[in-house]
Chain A
Amino acid sequence: MFELLKSEYARYKNWSYLAFVIVLGAFGFIAKLKPFLQEHPLQTAATNMVFIGGAFIFGVLQMALHRRANHWTYLIHRPLSTLHIYSGLTLAGLLLISSVVVVPMMIMVVGTDVFSASVVDSRHYVYILFLMLTATLAYLVGQLAALSASKGILTFAMLFVPILAPRHVNNIALLLPVTLLIAGVLYLNVKSFKPDLSRYLQNPLSILLLAVPMSLSFVFILLMSTTLFYHVPKFIAGTHSDNNPQNGTMRYIWQFESKDRPSYILENSDHPLAKNLMGQTELAEATYLDFDVWTFPRRGQMHVEDRIYALVDSETNTTWQFSHASMLLEGRQSTNGESIGALGENGFVEDLGSIEDSDRFTQVPYLIGKEFVMTQETLYKVNFEERSLDIKFALRGDEVFISPPQFRKEDVVISTNKRLMLFAYKDIMDGYDLAQPDYVIDHPVALENLRYVFTYRVAAGYMLLYFGNDYFGFDKPGAEIILASLGGEKAESIHQRRFELYGHPAWIRHFNYLISPALYYAQFSLLNALEPQDLTFASFERIRAREYPQRVIVISIILQILSGLITLLLVRAHKQGKAHAITWVILATGLGLPALCSFILLNPWHPTSHVFSLQSKDINTQTPALAL
């Protein structure tokens, strides 16, 4: 095995040296433009694309070059077990990948750690491990794509969604999924690396490991397919709700300009202020309010998840970077990197040796703009010249901020899990005194049901228009107008409107659930476990509480039974044994249509071609037999 490893390493080593030089050169160039460890979306995207894409292509290429008929025979006929041959090739591949991924990144991080004043924490080294793990997974998936008899393995690209998309709640959520996926794909590769590559994997565990991720991918593929068989025909026919919205649907709101939307909601209102407000909003400026719930930073998160690298004060020429190790903002002179103390929850500390635990932040704060620091409960403003840290606004009890402040022309909007607060712009931006909100509006419905919010400046204060598909509960679209008066104690609901009509039929609205309830639960539960703060990843309890239309549930059950029956017929035709048949029938009955699609990709298209039949026509019947 070691001899094979050496040979395989030698095959690509020159290419890996070249790639190493290019990557290190690119990193050096980036470090000239900005601090190397400062997050930049383009840099992160490019790094992922190069390392993950490169590792995937290398995996495909390495095995594709070996699997050519004569090369494969040459490789396999040696007196080594297939496990040893595969191990030799794969270890060589991983060595080559690490020389391109780990080594240049390690040089840069260690170099920054040793030769610069920038804060480098253990999380920066965790990022290198994460990069190597994702590249390893990509490499193994590439190998599997080349080794597998099924080309459907390309759908495994979806495996990277739970690895790259969420802002993981902790390092276990960050590293465990990718590690488990590596173990699973490695198992499949070992099983796929068999002398006859044209044979499909048939043992139950392999089928399970192949079918579940592939079925999850098919959920998205089937969802996208609605574009072809529903949306595009509707658009062509001119009956799609996007280009032909129906009065009485929520989609109809978008027909109107911002200033006219409240009138549509208020048209049947008998509230005494309704007509007056309709008149006012026609002249008012409407502003969209971003109501996304942000996942706050966590201690030890990867630096690529940081939103701001450091607070930089141009007046004092200082840079303040948050250290996850010390839980302090560590200050340095921007010119020479000389340490100038730290900034903790209780303010500035000149002497780093005198820091006590109470000085440290208990949460990793958001750094906002040039002078704001925000934890989930407190908004601070830093005075660099006076060296003071002042509380600008603080929450009490179980109320927490759900996103950083939104700075608008005249005001600053702060959202919490319970209410919306509007502050005068100057109250937040000028001075260091405690700020008080001018308007406080409690959320009219649960946070997860809020989708779109527009604000209108009216004479009495602010009028807010809320609407969304789930405003009155799951799949119960509606809208509400709320008036918040200046100095008023409580905002007043002016009118609610329910939309009884829907732009799309239930089977399209709930297509994701309909094609496979089990996978629907699985995908959301998984993403919710990885990033619980993101409300778009609904928890298991939230999904269970949803009431789907009866028709959708019935269609879903019929689809699952049909998928199971069709799979049963197909496995009988394939004649691959009981374990194979039982596994597939259980999968198709449990996971529905996506599992049936996976079955088609993970089994030969012509099952009878692998079963000898005496009745079949063969070419020898065309020639006269010689009497020998």
Chain B
Amino acid sequence: MNSYCIETTQLTKKFGNKTAINSLDLKIKQGGIHAIVGSNGAGKSTLFRILLGVATPTDGEASIFGVNCQKLTEKERVRFGYVNEEHTLPTWMKVSALVNMQKHFYPKWSQETYNSVIGYFDVDPNQKIAGLSRGERAGLNLSMALAQNPDVLILDEPTLGLDVVAKQSFLEALMFTETQNESTIIYCSHQMEEIERVADNLIMLEKGRLTNNSSPDEFVARVSSWIAEFPNKPSQLTQSSKVLSCKKIDDLHHIVTIDEDANFQEFLQNAGGSNIRQVDINLPNAVNAFLTKNHNTPDVFVQ
């Protein structure tokens, strides 16, 4: 049996002359929470739209459960849920009416799951959706998506614009559910602390290309952070593709690298560095350094 729920092969999507996704070969295993991160314009939302079948690839192929995303039928669609950053819902309906409608669409609907998740949010069933706060709408959306018992749940920046309390509730509800069933959750977010907290797998996209597909720990293990003193600007560092960032703070240079081994200390010494020491780096900083490296900026090094 195929253990991948999502597969893309040489997937490419162009809008005019702009390439949103570029020859993407991606395989996502069933189960767990897979975080997809990338800067704006990395192609995350385009990828989701292709996976949901509402956009057509320019080239290549994407499949869910082995079915081409361009040929999804209601049999496949019933197996996945989708929550977007706007928390699009029929605002003219009452919560209870919407929930009743959703029940008709999804035969595996679990009222128990719905009740459990909605309990994290203060949502009155008789209230109109237009009257709900953004956090309550996010909660309702997540509750319904999870109650569908989807095999794959796609969450596209679901916590965008939520306050701390709503975000907390959202993540708790998500993690609660993840432990209750075997859904595969594709979680897209710019909030690294959320990723650190929930993700089992870290997928990184940059300008339509896959740049990482591993566990967060594996990714952090590839990244190292160094502090050193340099009498002059260490121009040699700019030539190394393994240096993600180099910032001068209080006469000390903070250097983040990827896939460098212990020889890097020797390299720094040869470059004129002194008082060199390696320090721990957490996932948010590692990811941010990684994403910043590829971001279009006039100067790679910020003094």
Residues of A whose CB lies within 8 Å of any CB of B are 3-4, 6-7, 10-11, 69-74, 76-81, 195-199, 606, 609-612, 616-620, 622-628
Contacts and interface: CB of A to CB of B under 8 A. Distances in A.
A149 to B, nearest CB: 11
Given A3-B101, A196-B56, A627-B259, A70 B86 contact: yes
Main secondary structure of the interface of A (DSSP, over half): loop
B22 A74 contact: no
Given A79-B105, A627-B242, A74 B74 contact: no
A76 B56 contact: no
Contact of B74 (A6, A81, A199, A625): A81
A626 B105 contact: no
Contacts of A195: 52-54, 72
A517 to B, nearest CB: 39
Contacts of B88: 70-71, 73-74
Contacts of B303: none
A612 B56 contact: no
A612 B54 contact: no
B54 A609 contact: no
A78 to B, nearest CB: 5
11 contacts: A3-B101, A7-B101, A10-B93, A71-B88, A74-B88, A77-B80, A196-B56, A197-B54, A619-B208, A620-B207, A628-B211
A3 B241 contact: no
Interface residues of B, number: 54
A73 B154 CA distance: 12
Contacts of B98: 7
B20 to A, nearest CB: 9
Given A80-B105, A196-B53, A11 B90 contact: yes
A76 B16 CA distance: 25
B16 A606 contact: yes
A612 B17 CA distance: 11
A77 B105 CA distance: 11
Contact of B18 (A74, A197, A199, A619): A619
Interface in B95-125: 97-98, 100-101, 104-106
Given A73-B54, A612-B59, A619 B19 contact: yes
Nearest to B293: A626
A612 B101 contact: no
B105 to A, nearest CB: 5
A4 B53 CA distance: 20
B82 A80 contact: no
Sort A-B residue pairs by CB-CB distance and give the 7 closest, nearest first: A612-B59, A79-B78, A618-B19, A79-B74, A74-B88, A79-B77, A3-B101
A198 B56 contact: yes
B245 interface: no
A79 B148 CA distance: 11
A627 B70 CA distance: 33
B56 A620 contact: no
B49 interface: yes
B101 A77 contact: no
Nearest to A14: B92
A618 B22 contact: yes
Contacts of A198: 55-56
